Structure 1
């Protein structure tokens, strides 16, 4: 399977799709700090507050990245469905299990490369344009949130990978993946508003930890309105600016939920793919 992963990585990283996606992500990351610099360069007295706000923006961006898992998986799968080469891969002697886990591994590698380079571009542009924060502890807080989000991203990638293997159509599996992210969250959100007894159920939606743990919002009715946005509200930014490292219970919550989604999605996806006819 290692040879298959190497071959897939070589093929994937040579695609224009991959390079363009990386370029767009990097340019968008730099553009955020350029906008900060252009908009607030006339107020140097507030430079430290501006640096802190720019760092804090990374945290709500973590939620948006869950939805971009679609792009990462599509980079790996797009040519397979376009040129119908899945059958050729199997004819070379690779088992369906090897293909399934090989594609999943490549999706994770692609995600790690793109997100790491994007984060590095954001931080470098921030430090070059805005300067370094006096309180370096905030950088530790941001990376603490990023680390807690990693298991959730693994769960999201496993879910998206399963959708891609089960549904042999790029557009269709994209809608199904988005449905798995949004429908449970909105449904459990509504049920929790009707009766707080459904709060534990609301906590099982994959995107819930981005609000409850990573953004530091408790699950109760008073905070439900904040949980519906993507997190760019001023009060949410202030929560991060004044935050400390996540407690162990929050980290464990993210870890358990992310790995539970990963295990369930992989087991179901592989079981269906091994029985599906490949054309």
Structure 2
């Protein structure tokens, strides 16, 4: 397992896709702050060139990182489906559960690196280019990132599961959207009429990140994780969801015929 882990680390270090994805995300967040800064220079009364607006735009749009987990998993997975290289890896005598675990570890490691670097650049560029609205909004952003890490983990686990158990990449995308977005959205809609479905929908990551209400004062946006109960629930959902998709994917992969 150690040798396989080393080979995966080496392969991902040399994988240009990882760097293109990371630099693309970093360039995007810098670009957004630059645009806000340019508007401020042309109009000194422009109200949105602040760290409040920049940081709140990120922590109120956590659905975007959840979606970005899918292409990230695709890059780390390394075109195994397209190139049919999993069969070769298995033929070397590496147990399937170890293959599944090593890929998962690599995805978690690279995802964490991306999250830290992109968030860090967003925060630093915000303070350098925009008007400082105070530490409150930085704390809110950090709290949102901490709360959403378990939810991102569910998204990663589902994509990881699908890549190991699907025949092609298109089916991975379709099933991910159905499970992660369509089903929670439908349950939330039906929950308006059937209470139990509404309760279930409240525990789904897609609906959690979309649970935004208007507050007052500095709390102009109230997110699901603003309360201690909501923050704890995020971790419960993350742990349970990750275990379900990880175990299901590994068990199915162990019985899957690799072509």
Q: Same fold (TM over 0.5)?
A: yes
| Secondary structure of residue in 2 paired with 1:184 | helix
Identify if the C-alpha distance between structure 1 residues 115 and 166 changes in structure 2 by more than 3 Å, giving closer, same or farther. same
TM-score, normalisation: structure 2:
0.90
Which shifted more, 28-37 or 177-186?
A: 177-186
Which shifted more, 101-110 or 6-15?
A: 6-15
| Secondary structure of residue in 1 paired with 2:60 | helix
Which shifted more, 191-200 or 156-165?
A: 191-200
- Determine the structure 2 residue equivalent to 1:12: 12
* Alpha-carbon distance, 1:207 to partner: 0.9
Residue 53 (str. 1) matches residue 57 (str. 2): no
CA deviation vs aligned residue, 1:98-156 (integer Å, no higher than 9, x gap): 000111111111211122211122112111111433x2122111101110001111111
Identify if the C-alpha distance between structure 1 residues 171 and 37 changes in structure 2 by more than 3 Å, giving closer, same or farther. same
Identify if the C-alpha distance between structure 1 residues 252 and 41 changes in structure 2 by more than 3 Å, giving closer, same or farther. same
Identify if the C-alpha distance between structure 1 residues 121 and 49 changes in structure 2 by more than 3 Å, giving closer, same or farther. closer
* Alpha-carbon distance, 1:239 to partner: 7.8
| Secondary structure of residue in 2 paired with 1:61 | coil
Identify if the C-alpha distance between structure 1 residues 36 and 236 changes in structure 2 by more than 3 Å, giving closer, same or farther. farther
* Alpha-carbon distance, 1:194 to partner: 2.6
Between Structure 1 and Structure 2, how many residues are aligned?
A: 258
* Alpha-carbon distance, 1:3 to partner: 3.1
RMSD of equivalent CA atoms:
2.4
Identify if the C-alpha distance between structure 1 residues 127 and 168 changes in structure 2 by more than 3 Å, giving closer, same or farther. same
TM-score, normalisation: structure 1:
0.84
Structure 1 spans left out of the alignment, 5+ residues: 218-234
Identify if the C-alpha distance between structure 1 residues 117 and 68 changes in structure 2 by more than 3 Å, giving closer, same or farther. same
Structure 2 spans left out of the alignment, 5+ residues: none
